[in-house]
Amino acid sequence: MQTVAFWVLAVGAVGFGVAVFVVDSMARATFALLASFLCVGVELLLLDLDYLGVLVILMMIMEMLVMAVFMIMYMMNPGGLMPMTMVHNKRGALAISGSVFAALAAGVFLTPWPERRGSVPADPTFSVGESIMGPKMLVMMVIGIAILATMVASVVLATDRGRYDRPPGRADGAK
């Protein structure tokens, strides 16, 4: 069942990735890209890479939603009401992407990959974190929480007063 789910998600990720370039709206392209990344995040969860899977899912949801908000604010055609194309210089892009794909595929098949030494660790996520950060992992986790608190505080301090801070009877907030 896990193998079937993996392949369904893989096809979904590629399909939504193709949809990014097929739809005629920046907003639709953003949500297609989000769906593609969500499929990849769930695949990581299926591979027992829980931290990376949750990280990809949470980061991509927030990134794509922020991108959609900015597109709605600044794009002339965010909802795709007028026809538009998401690809420019189709021949050049096709030539470049085909060449890059061929080079990468050749690299996969021509590279002498080393044989595995040792066994798979019990917790691969912890092993990756330990090898990247070493003894500084706890410090980095605390710094991450401090950065999150700083971002939340910055947003709270940057916002104007809400509708409940106005004196009664005044819609503009003036005293």
Cβ 129 vs Cβ 141: under 8 Å = no
Residue 26 confidence (pLDDT) = 77
Residue 38 confidence (pLDDT) = 95
Burial 30-52 (b: 16+ CB within 10 A, else e): bbbbbbbbbbbbbbbbeeebeeb
Residue 134 confidence (pLDDT) = 79
Residue 25 DSSP SS3 = coil
Spell out, as residue ranges, where the chain has pLDDT lower than 70: 76-87, 159-175
Total length of the chain = 175
Cβ 3 vs Cβ 22: under 8 Å = no
Residue 162 confidence (pLDDT) = 59
CA dist 152 → 67, 68, 148, 171 (Å):
19, 20, 6, 28
